[in-house]
Amino acid sequence: MLANNARSLFTAISKRPFICQACLRRVRGFQLGLTSRSTPSTSRGLQTSGQEIPQDDTPFRKALKDAAKQQKKDKSAASESAQGTTKSKDPRLEKWELTVGIEIHAELNTARKLFSSAATSVGEAPNSHVSLFDVAFPGSQPYFQKETLIPALRGALALNCTIQPRSSFDRKHYFYQDQPAGYQITQYYEPFARNGHITLYAHDFPHGAAPTDCPITIGIKQVQMEQDTAKTVQQPPSTHLLDFNRVSHPLIEIITLPQIHDPTVAAVCVRKIQTILKTVNACTAGMEMGGLRADVNVSILERNGEAGGEHSYHGVTGLGQRTEIKNLASVKAVEDAIIAERDRQIDLLENGGTVEGETRGWTLGSKTTKRLRGKEGEIDYRYMPDPDIAPVLLGEDLIEHLRLSLPKLPDTMIDKLTTKYGLTKKDAATLLSLDDGNRLEYFFNIMARLRGSQLPTEDPAELGRVTGNWVLMELGSLFKDTDFDPSRVDPAQLASIITHLHRKTITSRSAKKLLLMKFEGDARSTEKIIEEEDMTFTPLSEQEYMQLAQTLVDEKPDMVKDIVEKGQDKKIKWFVGQMMSRSREGSVEPDEAERVLREVLKV
């Protein structure tokens, strides 16, 4: 491998138009020495070269460094090109169409369980929040807790669903250790919400991963309430302990239509639904805390087959046989599991096999899914209306009140941040996603304090861009290795720093120093620090700016030549930094320094 690297560097350097013979001989000698030790049979072919190399004074270390950079750049470009070609021309993906439907189970944010007065709990001692009904004690009855409807309705409304005035509960029969009654109470025939949808925009995707057909709308067949099961704690080799605290925790199950044809789209869909549910305070936690789980239904079909698929799901016809992958606990797991199952089904069909309807599992890092059991159908579950629970009747006044009182949803908030506050969509999406909304609230707290502060500008877009930069970049870098804590730098203090900067009381360099001091616990007010640390901006006169700029320019004629003759404007920043470092603290404004330098350099 080392010999290959040397050979590549030699090739890259030898193509440079200005490289000295001595440098080239040193690289060639290094290469040949490695080659003779590793592959003697090929060394003779590399010892001669008829190429005439011009001479100059380029330092060997710089030449080697430049060649290594170029080699890395070329390799990266070639890799990206190859990936793009592979993706667009992969015959397997062009031949077969993937179809995915998702079932998301989200734990509702409620104080009580769905059918008992026992408290919900997370992380409590096992079996410490359990009622008689939760363990299926003979003769115990379910008592529907009406308040559990509120977060469920908020979530369904946020997903653009139509709320049903009447819904009812059914028993879904199956026998497993985590289901003490032998059935799960759910809403199969009459769910409380139907016919919703979610729209994915380009800003919802990682950079460069958005499909060309964005925005993408995915239908939601229904949202139903159901009870959770017990938690199984395994103690190898054969012991299974049951924690009934989780039994009857209220869940909503969100069932999308099979309208997804890309693994990345599926993953982004799950992440956005999670974000929406957290925004409206419908669920307790995200996937990382176990508050949300996803099952995916995967099928493939030949795109140009003579006949369509024989199967239909949720009213969508002409599909292939599906398999269901259960209990995916992260957004990445959703994407990786779909890819693994898609590839497994393609391999199976291309080798003459058939896809069976079954339930499969997937583990982190695995390249394939594994069979768990045959896929149960409606007849296997023996659905029946629960005779002990009355239908749920909802008034339009309650539905309308919840609809009007919903917080602003992510798409609306991103639109507001970009149009009113001047942030880019990338920064807006980042601000929205960080720290469960705490970073966004911090941003708005600062903006509220900046309004009416008698700043040179009152334009929300200009102030928003500046504030966004300080909250995401300057303050964000300080919290890089620790959790975000607004009390470390109170919003009022950061607003004060931004105010002084806008009024040109301090320079940006002093402002960053001031922010660091507050972050590290300096209890003095912003004004007190500025006064005691002598941070007040006392600008140089025009003559002092010109003299300092001229001195630096005279010292570095080579850099001046690069700027003037070669157009290397970035080197002006070096001169700006030198002007700031050679002057007293807070006396040089970067913008003013750059203006003067350009005047001196006549560029």
Q: Please check the confidence at residue 45 and state whether its pLDDT lies above 50.
A: no
Residue with tokens 């800003």: 203
pLDDT at 323: 94
b/e per residue, 288-304, with b = 16+ CB within 10 A? eeebbbbbbbbbbbbee
Nearest Cα residue to 166 out of 394, 400, 386: 394
pLDDT in tens, 270-299: 999 998 998 899 987 767 666 889 999 999
Residue 367 has pLDDT above 60, yes or no: yes
Average pLDDT value for residue range 396-402: 96
State residue 74's pLDDT score.
Answer: 61
Residue pair 553/560 in contact (Cβ under 8 Å)? The answer is yes
Considering only CA atoms, which of 532, 528, 526, 539 is closest in space to residue 586?
A: 539
- Give the helix/strand (H/E) hosting 218: strand 216-227
Query: Which carries the bigger pLDDT value, residue 357 or residue 18?
Result: 357
For the cut 70, the answer to whether the pLDDT of residue 342 exceeds it is: yes
Q: What are the sequence ranges of the domains in the chain?
A: 2-89, 92-385, 411-532, 542-601
Q: How far is CA 245 from CA 137, 177, 250, 281, 528, in A?
A: 15, 14, 12, 22, 54
- Give the contacts of 61 (CB within 8 A, at least 6 positions apart): none
Residue 433: what pLDDT? 80
- Condensed to tens digits (0 to 9), the pLDDT of residues 406-415 reads 998 999 999 9
Strand partners, 239: 235
User: For residues 152 and 167, what is the distance between their CA atoms, to the nearest angstrom?
Assistant: 13
Contact, 498 vs 450, CB < 8 A?
Answer: yes
What pLDDT is stored for residue 340 in this prediction? Answer: 94
pLDDT recorded at residue 19 = 41
d(CA 434, CA 431): 6
Whole-model pTM above 0.95?
no
Distance CA 362, CA 360 (A): 7
Q: How many CB atoms lie within 10 A of CB 236?
A: 6
594: tokens are 């750059």
pLDDT band at 63 (very low <50, low <70, confident <90, very high): low
| Cβ-based neighbours of 452, under 8 Å, separated by 6 or more | none
* Long-range contacts from 595-599, C-beta under 8 angstroms, 24+ separation: 596/542, 596/545, 596/546, 596/549, 597/549, 597/553, 597/572, 598/572, 599/546
Q: Cα(575)–Cα(595) distance, rounded to whole angstroms?
A: 11
Q: What pLDDT score was predicted for residue 78?
A: 53
Task: Name which of 132-136, 362-366, 537-541, 585-589 the model is least confident about.
Answer: 585-589
Is 83's pLDDT higher than 80?
A: no
Q: Which two structure tokens, joined as six digits, stand for 145?
A: 């807790």
User: Given this model, what pLDDT does residue 309 score?
Assistant: 74
Which stretch, 87-101, 103-117, 504-518, has highest mean pLDDT?
A: 103-117
In angstroms, the first-to-last Cα distance of the chain is 47
Q: Which amino acid appears at position 254 of this protein?
A: I
pLDDT at 20: 45
What residues contact 509, with CB distance under 8 A and at least 6 apart? Answer: 580, 585, 586, 590
Structure tokens at 590: 């970067």
* pLDDT category of residue 71 using cuts at 50, 70 and 90: low
Position 467 pLDDT exceeds 80: yes
* Cβ atoms of 343 and 90 closer than 8 Å: no
CA angle 22, 23, 29 (to 5 degrees): 85
pLDDT at 219 over 50: yes
Residue (of 294, 292, 283) closest to 108 by Cα position? 283
Q: Which H/E stretch holds residue 550?
A: helix 542-555
The overall average pLDDT reported for the chain is 83
The amino acid sitting at 574 is: W
**pLDDT class of 75 with cuts at 50, 70, 90:** low
Q: What is the DSSP string of 244-300?
A: GGGTT-EEEEEEE-S-B--HHHHHHHHHHHHHHHHHTT-BS--GGGTSEEEEEEEEE
Tell me what the mean pLDDT of segment 238-244 comes to: 91
Indicate whether 49 pLDDT > 60.
no
